[in-house]
Amino acid sequence: MNPKNPVSYCGRGLAYKGKGLYDQAIVDCDYAITIAPTYAAMAYNARGLVYGDSGQYERAIDDFNKAITSNHNFYMAYFNIANLYKNLGRNSEAIGNYKKFIAIAPQVFSPEITIAKQKLSDMGE
């Protein structure tokens, strides 16, 4: 693996997440953030997914917000934070983030857009 490629580290981190190896996943995401700040949104989003799956919800929210702050058009962070907020019963925060995701996500993400619209409908929006 190229030690200067943050995409590889995020990918491996997500693979570790899928196996329940959260500590290793976080290490890879941390490394991706340090080696390539221009890819920070992707790495924060990936680490947010790891934290969310491991039950560290506030850390996940913090990382999704860092991804959004790093790149206001990083649409998957809006989708991921909205899903987490909805799962936590924080519907007003979920609604705003689903709407932002729908507004900026490319149409190639139509399955996720459909999911976001359905979740908005479920919440009365």
pLDDT band at 14 (very low <50, low <70, confident <90, very high): very high
Query: Stretch 77-105: mean pLDDT, rounded?
Result: 97
pLDDT band at 109 (very low <50, low <70, confident <90, very high): confident
pLDDT confidence of residue 8: 95
Type of residue found at 86: K
Q: Rounded to whole angstroms, how far apart are CA atoms 31 and 33?
A: 5
Q: Is 25 in contact with 17 (CB distance < 8 Å)?
A: yes
CATH class held by domain 1-71: mainly alpha
Per-residue b or e along 91-103, where b marks 16 or more CB atoms closer than 10 Å to that residue's CB: bebbbebbbbbbe
User: What are the residue ranges spanned by the domains of the chain?
Assistant: 1-71, 74-125
Q: Is 7 in contact with 23 (CB distance < 8 Å)?
A: no
pLDDT band at 15 (very low <50, low <70, confident <90, very high): very high
Residue 106 has pLDDT above 90, yes or no: no
Percent of the chain with pLDDT over 90: 90
pLDDT confidence of residue 119: 96
Per-residue b or e along 25-51, where b marks 16 or more CB atoms closer than 10 Å to that residue's CB: bbbbbebbbeebeebbbbbbbbbbbbb
Average pLDDT along the chain = 95
Query: Stretch 58-65: mean pLDDT, rounded?
Result: 98
